[in-house]
Amino acid sequence: MRLAKFVALAWLVAACGDITRGDDGGMPPDGDGGADPDAVPGIDGTRGQLDAGPGADKLDVLFVVDNSGSMFEEQAALATAFDSNFIANLRHDGNLPSLHIGVVSTDLGAGPFGIQGCTGSGDNGVLQNAPRGDCTPPADRYIIDLDDGDGTRTTNYTGTLAKTFSCIAKLGTNGCGFEQPLESMRRALDDNPSNAGFLRDDAALLVIIVSDEDDCSTEHTEMFDTSQTSPKSPLGPLSSFRCFEFGVECSPDVPRAPGMKFACGPREDSPYMFTVAEYIEFLDDLKGGKLVVAAIVGDRTPVIVNAEVGVGFELAPSCSVGGDGGRFAVPGVRFHSFLEGFPSRSIGPSICADMAASLQAITDLVNDRLL
């Protein structure tokens, strides 16, 4: 949710940077203070070799897709690149692993506050299987495509896998503008009865987040108080700048002071938002080494606060593509800190980069670490 259209900064690059696994990609470069690429944390937090035993040929994939007002093009790009870059690159000797593929939105509502697009608990982490357009969704809340071991596959959909994914992944743009992807991910995977059967104990897990805003996972919905709209009120105007002010800490730590911010990371003492650390712990407890996480989001830097007199504050884009009127994304500070919690098992392609290349890079990591 943005106050107004961002003013493009002259010195910002027209397109975001390359896919990285460094400071902006959630994975330190090898040989430069990074983790041993052959070692991953286990469930108990110790480091050891990834066990590629039972379950290595089974993969559960959760797509967490931003369905707020600015995501039409990104959703379309995701659906287009799914078959030619994601599925094609997962094939080994012509075969796919046994797949469960689910899609969840970033919409968790705004509690008791009446905000357009933010109703109650939103989608509440429930896997989305409603057809988007003239298409046929899977028979269950998620796609099932299993290798029977004899050259045949068991599926719960008709037509092609790509068309079925596109049918449920284009969530539209009417979702809540206070995006909560990390919390939506947790609700989807944490014994959600509506999603029963999706997560298999003997399967590896891939989580892919796609968003042009930073994470705004909120523990106390008072942050969405609609009675506060003034730039001088404790919460400020009703915009996603609240997510930055109460979810990110920078130097200097004066969120409403215009200008460049440095050394930004999650605000650990936020009175309203969940910490990023608890989502890292959640996934490690859930899957340990049999896990890869990816976030196709805004670049981590630069972080610049703009101010409009009498209106409020907003973040300048950290990446853009297409010039004036094109696509852009704000800094994904919380996302990139989240990725850093999974050394050698995470990747953070820019949402301003080519979606096809991003999905291919993600599957390269999955093939290397999980399959």
Concatenate the DSSP letters of all residues of 228-272 into one string: --STTSSS-SSSTHHHHHHHEEEES--TTS-EEEEEEEE-TT-SS
How wide is the angle at C-alpha 365 spanned by C-alphas 361 and 371, nearest 5°?
130
35-57: average pLDDT: 38
Which is higher by pLDDT, 371 or 6?
371
Concatenate the DSSP letters of all residues of 21-49 into one string: SSTTTTSPPTTTTPPPTT-EE-TTS-EE-
Q: Is the pLDDT of residue 3 over 90?
A: no
pLDDT digit string, tens, across residues 69-100 = 999 999 999 999 999 999 999 987 778 999 99
Q: Is the pLDDT of residue 313 over 60?
A: yes
Sheet with 303-308, side-by-side order of all strands: 248-251, 259-266, 303-308, 312-315
Q: Is the pLDDT of residue 325 over 60?
A: yes
Name the β-bridge partners of 41: 47
pLDDT of 371: 83
pLDDT digit string, tens, across residues 245-294 = 999 999 999 999 999 999 999 999 999 999 999 999 999 999 999 999 99
Contacts 24+ apart (CB under 8 A), 76-79: 76/170, 77/355, 77/356, 78/169, 78/210, 78/355, 78/359, 79/162, 79/165, 79/166, 79/169, 79/170
Q: Is the pLDDT of residue 54 over 50?
A: no
- pLDDT band at residue 164, thresholds of 50, 70 and 90? very high
321-333: average pLDDT: 87
- Peptide bond between residue 349 and the one before it cis (omega within 30 degrees of 0): no
Mean pLDDT computed over every residue of the chain: 87
176-199: average pLDDT: 98
- pLDDT band at residue 13, thresholds of 50, 70 and 90? very low
Tokens of 224: 């969405």
- pLDDT band at residue 31, thresholds of 50, 70 and 90? very low
Give the span between the Cα atoms of 362 and 195, in whole angstroms.
Answer: 24
Q: Is the pLDDT of residue 49 over 50?
A: no
pTM equals 0.86
pLDDT of 56: 54
| Answer CATH for 40-221+273-300+328-369 from 1.10.20.10, 2.60.40.10, 3.20.20.70, 3.40.50.410 | 3.40.50.410
Q: Is the pLDDT of residue 51 over 90?
A: no
Q: Where are the domains of the chain?
A: 40-221+273-300+328-369
Give the span between the Cα atoms of 247 and 266, in whole angstroms.
Answer: 6
- pLDDT band at residue 16, thresholds of 50, 70 and 90? very low
Q: Is the pLDDT of residue 344 over 50?
A: yes
- pLDDT band at residue 239, thresholds of 50, 70 and 90? very high
Give the span between the Cα atoms of 184 and 124, in whole angstroms.
Answer: 7
Identify the CA nearest to 277 among candidates 178, 181, 182. 182
54-69: average pLDDT: 87
288-310: average pLDDT: 95
Q: Is the pLDDT of residue 137 over 50?
A: yes
How wide is the angle at C-alpha 173 spanned by C-alphas 168 and 178, nearest 5°?
110
Query: For the chain, what percentages of helix, strand and coil (3-state, to nearest 5) are there?
Result: 25, 25, 55
| Pairing mode of beta strands 319-321, 259-266 | unpaired
Give the span between the Cα atoms of 199 and 192, in whole angstroms.
Answer: 10
Give the span between the Cα atoms of 315 and 263, in whole angstroms.
Answer: 16
What is the percent of the chain with per-residue pLDDT over 70, rounded to a whole number? 85
Give the span between the Cα atoms of 9 and 303, in whole angstroms.
Answer: 12
Q: Is the pLDDT of residue 47 over 90?
A: no
What is the percent of the chain with per-residue pLDDT over 90, rounded to a whole number? 79
Q: Is the pLDDT of residue 355 over 60?
A: yes
CB 129 within 8 A of CB 168: yes
342 backbone dihedrals φ, ψ, rounded to 5° = -130, 70
293-322: average pLDDT: 94
pLDDT of 88: 93
